Structure formats: C-alpha cells, structure tokens
Amino acid sequence: MGDRYASERYAPTIPRCARASISLNFDGKYLRGSGIGGFMQFSGVSGRKINGVFEYSIDRQRTPDHGPIPEGEYWIQPSELQENSWYRLRNPRMAWGNYWITIHPYPDTQTYKRGGFFIHGGSTQGSAGCIDLTDQMDRFVLALRKAIAKQPECYIPLTVSYSK
C-alpha cells in the first residue's frame, strides 16, 4: 500500500472554499474555538507520552509516529468529517473514537515531512501526531456542527501553539 499522506507532507495546499467565522487553537492541553456561538473548549493531547508525560518540544515535534503535531497554521474542512462504523477495521473505534477530521497544513507550516494529522477521539490518550480529544470528540462534533450550521461550505483555521 502506498503512502497516502505523501502529497500532504511535500505539497501542502490552501483551502478552496470560504473561511468560516470561527477559528480553532490547540495548545497541547485544550482545543479551543472562538467565533460565532461564543467559545468552545475541549481537553486534548497530541503525540505519545514519554515517561508518563506529553512533551511538546521542537525535537519531539520532529519525531514521526510519536511526536505531537508541529506548531504552525493549519485548517480543517467540516465537510471532511468522517463518522466511524462498526465495520471499519482500519480505524478502530478504541483508537479513533466515533469521528475524525483531517487537519491540513498551510504551505508555510513546517511539518518536518510529517503528515496524516487528524482531530479524533478514542478511549486512550495519545496519538501518532494527531490532536486526540478522547471522550471530548463527540461534544466537539456537536459544537462544530452547531457553529457552522448556517454557513456555506467553509474551512476553519487551526493554530497549533504550545505553551513555553
């Protein structure tokens, strides 16, 4: 099977639809949304633990399959939201939860040749570089759908910036 994220790693794209009136920010502890409908906040992590702790250093951000999503500017497109089903073997519910949505890097975001980033849920904290909302994902999906309900097809900017 080929590398499904190769084009994303080496040729990030810009969205081809209107910008939503909400935006997202992830700081390693929370995914926060602001804009129409007020403010949203969901606990989340990225990467895998080292010695029981999630670490967000630059060196860790460069680590494929274990490090967190690198800091930078990204975007999501709500129409790309995927719902998990009982018959999906590739994305087991325990690891991915009930939903996931692709995170796209902007061309000027340094991803260290990494890709395949998602916002998803699951039953245990940690990921290969995605933003993992564990049991908060369903609540995030409800809030996202409510926030964009009256908007045309759109993209939502996402900033990843870890506390120093």
Q: Which residues contact 26 (CB under 8 A, 6 or more apart)?
A: 32, 44, 46, 69, 131, 158, 159, 160, 161
Q: pTM of the prediction?
A: 0.87
The CATH fold of domain 22-160: L,D-transpeptidase catalytic domain-like (2.40.440)
Which tens digits make up the pLDDT trace of 97-135? 789 999 999 999 999 999 999 999 998 899 999 999 999
34 alpha carbon, distance to own chain's centre? 16
The confidence score (pLDDT) of residue 163 equals 82
In this predicted structure, the answer to whether residue 89 has a pLDDT above a threshold of 60 is: no
Which tens digits make up the pLDDT trace of 26-40? 999 999 998 766 789
